[in-house]
């Protein structure tokens, strides 16, 4: 995936899909402000305060933004509602476009920087995984160019499922769901990245959507829950 940066923009980012909330601002595809919150059940209050602080410190008024970017999930049920409500409110009030990003696509973008993927042949697969409960994950599979080859869905993990994916080529499991996959199978073509995406991944994918004018319908956009309810696993 390559970015076309001919169309530059000032974007605001809101991600409350996981345990860590992130708010950022970019100008011409460069991150200029960033804040994060790791305190549980405080994402709603954090988002508003962080945005106000960024506006003050950057000198860029909300009216000067070109679009609002938000993660649509899958992820925490409550967190997704908080993030989308905040992003919709700002976008609607300022009459700005809304850009929605998949957390699973962001994980794939994060994994694409891994040496294993960068040096892989075309058969390499990226399995983005967000822990749900027990042996279940929210998952999607991408090729090494980040094209989706298995749509987002709730998946019950077992040995046979992983073996079936491996029939299509080497597999890199990325995200907090990768940990439970380690217990299922040992295979020379099975790799793991237990880290998550960063704000830089949001910037990269948001610029792609900005350049292609892929905007959400502010009135009708909704979180991608994939299930009726998701409670983040206890640490």
Considering the domain architecture, whether residues 97 and 202 belong to the same structural domain is answered as yes
In this prediction, residue 6 carries a pLDDT of 58
For 44-65, write each residue's pLDDT tens digit: 999 999 999 999 999 999 999 9
Crossing angle of the two packed helices 77-94 and 43-58, in degrees rounded to 10: 40
Considering the domain architecture, whether residues 112 and 167 belong to the same structural domain is answered as yes
Considering the domain architecture, whether residues 117 and 155 belong to the same structural domain is answered as yes
Q: What is the bridge-based pairing of β-strands 190-193 and 171-174?
A: parallel
Does residue 231 lie within any of the structural domains?
no
Q: How far is the C-alpha of 4 from the C-alpha of 8, rounded, in Å?
A: 9
Does residue 2 lie within any of the structural domains?
no
In this prediction, residue 3 carries a pLDDT of 46
pLDDT-above-90 percentage for the chain: 86
Residue 89 confidence (pLDDT) above 90: yes
Q: How far is the C-alpha of 25 from the C-alpha of 53, rounded, in Å?
A: 11
What CATH number does the domain containing 183 carry?
3.30.420
Considering the domain architecture, whether residues 98 and 16 belong to the same structural domain is answered as yes
Q: Which residue has the higher pLDDT, 232 or 138?
A: 138
Does residue 161 lie within any of the structural domains?
yes
Q: Is 154 exposed, middle or buried (CB count within 10 Å of its CB: 0-12, 13-18, 19+)?
A: middle
Considering the domain architecture, whether residues 39 and 146 belong to the same structural domain is answered as no
For 195-216, write each residue's pLDDT tens digit: 999 999 999 999 999 999 999 9
CA proximity to 197, closest of 132, 125, 111: 111
Considering the domain architecture, whether residues 84 and 141 belong to the same structural domain is answered as no
In this prediction, residue 171 carries a pLDDT of 97
Considering the domain architecture, whether residues 140 and 31 belong to the same structural domain is answered as no
Does residue 181 lie within any of the structural domains?
yes
Does residue 160 lie within any of the structural domains?
yes
Considering the domain architecture, whether residues 67 and 84 belong to the same structural domain is answered as yes
For 106-140, write each residue's pLDDT tens digit: 999 999 999 999 998 888 999 999 999 889 999 99
The structural domain count of the chain equals 2
Considering the domain architecture, whether residues 33 and 144 belong to the same structural domain is answered as no
Rounded mean pLDDT of the chain?
Answer: 92
Q: Give the residue numbers spanning the domain of 203.
A: 10-103+197-211
Q: How far is the C-alpha of 151 from the C-alpha of 139, rounded, in Å?
A: 8
In this prediction, residue 7 carries a pLDDT of 66
Residue 234 confidence (pLDDT) above 80: no
């Amino acid at each position: 995936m390559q970015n076309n940066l001919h169309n530059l923009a000032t974007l605001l980012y809101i991600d409350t899909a996981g345990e860590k909330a992130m708010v950022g601002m970019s100008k011409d595809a460069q991150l200029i402000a960033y804040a994060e919150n790791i305190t549980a059940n405080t994402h709603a209050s954090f988002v508003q305060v962080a945005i106000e602080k960024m506006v003050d410190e950057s000198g860029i008024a909300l009216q000067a933004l070109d679009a609002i970017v938000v993660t649509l999930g899958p992820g925490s049920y409550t967190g997704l509602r908080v993030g989308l409500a905040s992003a919709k409110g700002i976008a609607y009030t300022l009459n700005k476009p809304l850009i929605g990003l998949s957390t699973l696509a962001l994980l794939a973008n994060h994994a694409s920087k891994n040496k294993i993927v960068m040096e892989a042949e075309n058969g390499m697969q990226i399995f983005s995984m967000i822990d749900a409960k027990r042996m279940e994950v929210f998952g999607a599979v991408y090729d090494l160019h980040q094209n989706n080859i298995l749509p987002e869905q709730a998946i019950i993990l077992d040995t046979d499922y992983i073996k079936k994916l491996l029939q299509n080529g080497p597999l890199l499991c990325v995200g907090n769901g990768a940990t439970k996959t380690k217990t299922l199978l040992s295979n020379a073509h099975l790799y793991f990245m237990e880290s998550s995406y960063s704000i830089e991944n949001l910037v990269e994918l948001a610029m792609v959507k900005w350049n292609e004018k892929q905007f959400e319908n502010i009135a009708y956009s909704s979180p991608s829950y994939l299930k009726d309810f998701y409670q983040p696993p206890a640490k």
